[in-house]
A and B are shown apart, each in its own frame.
Chain A
Amino acid sequence: MPDLSRFNLRDRFGDWWDKASPIQRGFTRVFVISLFYALPLINNPVIDTPETSFQSVLFYPLAMFSLMAVGLNVVVGKSGILDLGYVAFFAIGAYTYAMFALKTSLIFWEILPLAMGFAMLAGVILGLPALRLRGDYLAIITLGFGEIVRIVAINTEAIGGAAGLTSIPGPPAFLGYEFTVMDPRPYYWLTLTLLALVIWGVLRLSHRKPGRAWEAIREDEDVAEFMGVSTLKYKLWAFIIGGAVGGAAGAVYASQIRSIQPEMFTLNLSIMILACVVFGGMGNIWGVILGAVLLGYLPEKLRFLSETRIIFFGLLMVVMMNIRPNGLLPRKKREVVGEKK
């Protein structure tokens, strides 16, 4: 039985990447990105999913989960803040889009920043008081926040109450592609583009001061503070970024599904996204995407898993923590061992 805790996919790829020339790297990037954009065009029974069309699955859950997992990863994976209420940002984004789309003449592209803004604001409102607390308590409060958002949505008739909101308009046509209810592909490409932008942003931040600050906070928050890192500020930023991404995902989701109810935004969804992060590799952006893809795709492909999805996720979380707490693609860096002068 191989030592599961040390097998390291990322290092093998990492070694190749280091030795690759800029041309090789450029080609790889273009190739991989094109591959992802081309996915909806594939029509192969092997990858097809029984219940819903593959294209639809690509949009939700695959692309949506990936986007949300990357967002949650900044909070949980990079900064070490356990957020059990991530669905709240998703819900706020969705409801903001729905309300503005229904009540005003603003179009999707105009509402998207608003949805993100509201979610970011929620991140601040939640974060300012909550982030002063220690891990377990913070987790419970975030869970509470997620639930409160849902319960408020159920009980507030002004935003639809338990029945929710329907007949939500979609985005206007873009580059010749109509955003219709029938065709999930433009939504997929839209989400993919957002995902690419978010990945770019997060990677940039990770390799600079914010990334180091977050890692230090995750490693040893007290010592980070002693070393001059304003932990509250960076934890808040993690929340804000996570919120922005979740809100964006929610807006896109609402614009596709055209009708939303509070019951769509449950604790289960928070846990599913968390499972993607935990399973894929906490702190590793590629890992969480891999986790999201696997945990999104497998239950769609395998009938028995789709019924027992949550059981599977719950069990997975327990097993992963016990056997391989760092996830599939670990966060640990590859070292450069130099010569002593």
Chain B
Amino acid sequence: MDFSIVVSDFASLTLDGIVVGAIYALVALGYTLVYGVLRLINFAHSEIFMMGTMTAVFVTSILGFTGYEDPLPLWRFFLVFALIVIASSVVSGGAAVILEIVAYRRLRNMGASRLSSLISAIGASFFLTEIFRLLTDSRNLDFPRMISKEPLFQFSSAYVTQDKLLVLAGAAILFYGLNRIINHTRLGLGIRAVSQDERTSVLMGVNVNRVISFTFLIGGVLAGAGSAFYMVFYEVTKSNVGFLIGISAFTAAVLGGIGNIRGALIGSFALGLFQQYTAAVLGYNWRDVVTFVVLVLVLLVKPTGLFGEALQKARV
């Protein structure tokens, strides 16, 4: 195992780690927000992300891209990209809201056990993955290159390209937007209230169903937007892309402390960086094992994560 790679390529690995971390964060926020209000791991959130990637590919095909064109002029790219982001966000957000109503709401009203909700979530996840696997014939779907990936400049070992800057800038905008929603709107207040104490929130007049739908919507929109950034960066998707991204994003959320928004952000960047460094040393094919190991270690050693709440302990 050659550790010197980490040193020699430090800047490059770090840049990539931050970019990947940003994408993870956009997905991790969905897990953490839903967990905050429902104390449920939305297993199917990964498929919400996947559907966003599919939407992105779909939009490019509707617009007539074949994948063989030259990169677009920047202003045109932004126009097209904005369209894609909006489309993916709408699809993912809408799918998330529908998912909640179909798979979880009735169980919530029935007071079903956590086991039942989790099984329903898993069923939904598999259902969606397989539907899209059949729709795409198990193929990889390519995303046309619409933006030049020529390095703008080089910083130590890191090649700074436009797509990476795009991801970072876009994510920053979305984080800021989320912050405003959570902290400066009524629905955001509702989310914070329900996360803390659902029963009291109801007594205080909060419409819990609406808050929950809204939470799913936000999570879905973020994942959808994230999927658009993902496609620009990675340029390929598959029906099971949700699974691996989901595991990483979920691990990031747990690492930061599930239920804690700031934790999800920090955990995502931390995991993104860690993945890059270990992949450089061990090889990419061990990356997912490493991620799982991180998840297991966090849950065993410090289940509250870096910033999180205590693991659910029912009051006796």
The 6 A-B residue pairs with the shortest CB-CB distance in the complex, in nearest-first order: A317-B123, A314-B127, A314-B126, A144-B292, A321-B120, A318-B123
* Residues of B36-76 contacting chain A, CB below 8 A: 40-41
Q: A222-B316, A317-B123 are in contact. Are A151 and B288 (CB under 8 A)?
A: yes
Say yes or no for B93: interface residue by CB 8 A criterion: no
A–B pairs, 9, beta carbons within 8 Å: A82-B115, A133-B311, A137-B303, A310-B130, A314-B127, A314-B129, A315-B123, A318-B103, A322-B103
Q: Chain A interface: which size bin?
A: 35 or more
| A321 and B316 contacting across the interface, CB-CB below 8 Å | no
CA distance A151 to B283 in the complex (A): 13
Cβ–Cβ < 8 Å partners of A311 in chain B = 126-127, 130-131, 134
* Residues of B264-297 contacting chain A, CB below 8 A: 285-286, 288-289, 292-293, 295-296
| Interface of B, helix, strand, loop or mixed by DSSP | helix
Say yes or no for B112: interface residue by CB 8 A criterion: yes
Say yes or no for A139: interface residue by CB 8 A criterion: yes
CA distance A257 to B285 in the complex (A): 28
| B112 and A325 contacting across the interface, CB-CB below 8 Å | yes
Cβ–Cβ < 8 Å partners of A325 in chain B = 112-113, 116
| Extra inter-chain contacts (6) besides given A310-B129, A311-B126, CB under 8 Å | A137-B254, A310-B126, A318-B102, A321-B120, A322-B103, A322-B106
Say yes or no for A134: interface residue by CB 8 A criterion: yes
CA distance A155 to B123 in the complex (A): 29
| B130 and A314 contacting across the interface, CB-CB below 8 Å | yes
Say yes or no for B118: interface residue by CB 8 A criterion: yes
| A147 and B292 contacting across the interface, CB-CB below 8 Å | yes
| A139 and B123 contacting across the interface, CB-CB below 8 Å | no
Cβ–Cβ < 8 Å partners of B312 in chain A = 134
CA distance A68 to B105 in the complex (A): 31
CB distance from B107 to the nearest CB of A (A): 6
Say yes or no for B314: interface residue by CB 8 A criterion: yes
Identify the interface centre among A76, A154, A271, A318: most chain B CB within 10 Å of its CB: A318
Say yes or no for A237: interface residue by CB 8 A criterion: no
CA distance A152 to B250 in the complex (A): 21
Cβ–Cβ < 8 Å partners of B182 in chain A = none
CB distance from B216 to the nearest CB of A (A): 16
Say yes or no for A274: interface residue by CB 8 A criterion: yes
| B126 and A321 contacting across the interface, CB-CB below 8 Å | no
Cβ–Cβ < 8 Å partners of B293 in chain A = 148
| A316 and B296 contacting across the interface, CB-CB below 8 Å | no
Among residues of A, the one whose C-beta sits closest to the C-beta of B124 is: A318
| B303 and A133 contacting across the interface, CB-CB below 8 Å | yes
Say yes or no for B125: interface residue by CB 8 A criterion: yes
Interface residue ranges, B against A (CB under 8 Å)? 40-41, 102-103, 106-107, 112-120, 122-131, 134, 243, 247, 250, 254, 285-286, 288-289, 292-293, 295-296, 299-300, 303, 311-312, 314, 316
Cβ–Cβ < 8 Å partners of B292 in chain A = 144, 147-148
| A137 and B314 contacting across the interface, CB-CB below 8 Å | no
CA distance A133 to B295 in the complex (A): 13
Q: A155-B286, A325-B116 are in contact. Are A313 and B126 (CB under 8 A)?
A: yes
CB distance from A321 to the nearest CB of B (A): 4
CA distance A222 to B250 in the complex (A): 27
Q: A308-B134, A318-B102 are in contact. Are A135 and B115 (CB under 8 A)?
A: yes
Say yes or no for A115: interface residue by CB 8 A criterion: no
Among residues of B, the one whose C-beta sits closest to the C-beta of A319 is: B123
CA distance A285 to B102 in the complex (A): 30
Among residues of B, the one whose C-beta sits closest to the C-beta of A133 is: B299
Q: A322-B107, A325-B112, A325-B116 are in contact. Are A141 and B295 (CB under 8 A)?
A: yes
Say yes or no for A140: interface residue by CB 8 A criterion: yes
Cβ–Cβ < 8 Å partners of B128 in chain A = 314
Cβ–Cβ < 8 Å partners of B106 in chain A = 322
CA distance A141 to B125 in the complex (A): 17
Please, what's the 1-or-0 string for A118-147, where 1 marks a CB less than 8 Å from any CB in chain B?
000000000001101111110111001001
* Residues of A289-341 contacting chain B, CB below 8 A: 307-308, 310-311, 313-319, 321-322, 325
* Residues of A149-196 contacting chain B, CB below 8 A: 151-152, 154-155
Cβ–Cβ < 8 Å partners of B134 in chain A = 307-308, 311
Task: Choose among A141, A152, A222, A315 the residue that contacts B127 (Cβ–Cβ < 8 A).
Answer: A315
CA distance A69 to B131 in the complex (A): 25
